[in-house]
């Protein structure tokens, strides 16, 4: 979705194909195989200009990207590149020619970038760039500059690299936009601006968002030696001096966004169970302690539930560990879909889960837990032609005890009682 302070334009992202134009059958297969590891959509290949035109007529509006050789059968001098670009399909060009005039010719077609076709190792460069461009489609950049020409130049570059963009003229306007658009991924800000300068903007933004949430690049035509270091000191991830070239600017943007993605991935791996996608025990306890303290102060209802899949070892022994993983994933999906946004849910380990149900009256909470138990027992699994189902036992502490640890311990004891009483049931701590 492209947005500006004055105009809203909604563009649904439905481009789910990539076009590869390459005259070498071996290289074409290598490209397709490499792309298949990072792109879930369809990958079409063409080795002639006629085939290119045929595919573009069929799927032109569904290509998010094309990767083009400058020379293919029927188009020896870039005619295929010119044709694809004329159809407004974002494009990357393969070339083994490093001549400056030739690169200038490639640029003249309006392509995003070019990739040197030297050896197989360059496929890694290609896949990295394609992956970045694919993510950019879902990323929003906020451009903050009081100079209209600068804003338009940066907007053109970021749009070319498939970013959605928002424009602001000063720091105060940028703060208001960020407040209305919390999912902005990249902030590019000038230094000298009226109302609020770039330093003040970055300081205020970093009070609420760190580098894994928002990448920041400072820009300025000022050549003062300490400017770049001051930008960094206040929280920018990088700095670019104006005027800048397309390659330098877009490379720095890509590096900053890659860094942000890496920080997010590391944060996710530290807080998320890799198999089920639920929060892990450590993250749950960090969040739940503060939630418990807050709700106790306000004297609001809070229930802690320990949940365990019955006879899970038998599933692994009978059907294999892959089947056990499938059960964990499916049970987690049902739990995730049923709980409310305000609830906290985690995989505690093995086949055990913990749920903190917040602000639910006791009568409603009891019905809620019973619905979860029935939903899990209704799931059907089929492994190697054999069908089976699983059940869960639940221990619930719906009393507001002094600490979270006490509530978890009480719920765990109730779970033990549910197991001893025959499983597939709910027991409440008393």
Pick the catalytic residue: 351, 352, 371, 382? 351
Task: Decide if 216 contacts 208 (C-beta within 8 A).
Answer: no
Beta 215-220 vs 186-190: how paired, if at all?
parallel
Task: Decide if 90 contacts 112 (C-beta within 8 A).
Answer: yes
How far is residue 38's CA from residue 31's CA, in Å, rounded to a whole number? Answer: 11
How far is residue 176's CA from residue 62's CA, in Å, rounded to a whole number? Answer: 35
How far is residue 64's CA from residue 84's CA, in Å, rounded to a whole number? Answer: 12
Cβ neighbourhood burial of 208 (10 Å; 0-12, 13-18, 19+): exposed
Task: Decide if 134 contacts 15 (C-beta within 8 A).
Answer: no
∠ CA 295-298-304, rounded to 5°: 25
Q: Is position 351 annotated as part of the catalytic site?
A: yes
* Rg over CA atoms, the chain: 28
Residues recognised as catalytic: 351
């Amino acid at each position: 979705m492209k947005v500006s302070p004055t105009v809203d334009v909604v563009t649904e992202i439905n481009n789910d194909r990539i076009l590869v134009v390459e005259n070498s059958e071996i290289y074409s297969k290598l490209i397709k195989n490499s792309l298949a590891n990072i792109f879930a959509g369809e990958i079409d290949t063409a080795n002639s200009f006629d085939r290119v035109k045929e595919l573009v007529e069929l799927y032109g509006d569904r290509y998010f990207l094309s990767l083009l050789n400058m020379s293919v059968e029927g188009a020896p001098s870039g005619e295929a590149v010119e044709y694809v670009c004329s159809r407004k399909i974002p494009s990357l060009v393969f070339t083994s020619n490093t001549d400056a005039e030739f690169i200038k010719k490639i640029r003249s077609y309006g392509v995003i970038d070019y990739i040197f076709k030297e050896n197989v190792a360059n496929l890694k460069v290609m896949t990295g760039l394609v992956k970045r461009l694919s993510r950019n489609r879902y990323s929003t950049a906020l451009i903050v500059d009081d100079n209209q020409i600068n804003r338009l130049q940066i907007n053109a570059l970021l749009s070319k690299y498939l970013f959605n963009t928002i424009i602001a003229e000063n720091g105060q306007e940028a703060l208001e936009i960020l407040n209305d658009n919390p999912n902005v991924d990249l902030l590019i800000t000038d230094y000298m601006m009226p109302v609020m300068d770039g330093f003040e903007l970055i300081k205020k933004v970093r009070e609420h968002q760190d580098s894994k949430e928002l990448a920041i690049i400072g820009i300025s035509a000022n050549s003062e030696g300490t400017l770049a270091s001051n930008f960094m000191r206040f929280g920018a991830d990088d700095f670019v001096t104006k005027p800048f070239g397309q390659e330098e600017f877009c490379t720095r943007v890509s590096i900053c966004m890659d860094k942000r993605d890496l920080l997010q991935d590391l944060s996710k791996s530290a807080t998320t169970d890799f198999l089920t996608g639920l929060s892990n025990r450590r993250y749950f306890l960090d969040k739940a302690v503060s939630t418990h303290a807050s709700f106790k102060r306000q004297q609001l209802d809070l229930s802690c539930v320990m949940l365990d899949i019955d006879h899970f070892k038998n599933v692994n022994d009978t059907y294999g560990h892959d089947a056990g993983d499938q059960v964990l994933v499916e049970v987690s999906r049902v739990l995730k879909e049923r709980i409310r946004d305000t609830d906290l849910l985690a995989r505690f380990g093995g086949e055990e889960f913990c749920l903190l149900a917040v602000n639910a009256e006791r009568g409603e909470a009891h019905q809620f837990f019973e619905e979860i138990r029935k939903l899990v027992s209704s799931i059907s699994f089929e492994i190697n032609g054999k069908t089976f189902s699983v059940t869960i036992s639940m221990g619930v502490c719906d009393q507001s005890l002094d600490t979270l640890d006490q509530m978890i311990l009480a719920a765990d004891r109730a779970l033990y009682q549910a197991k001893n009483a025959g499983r597939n049931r709910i027991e409440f701590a008393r």
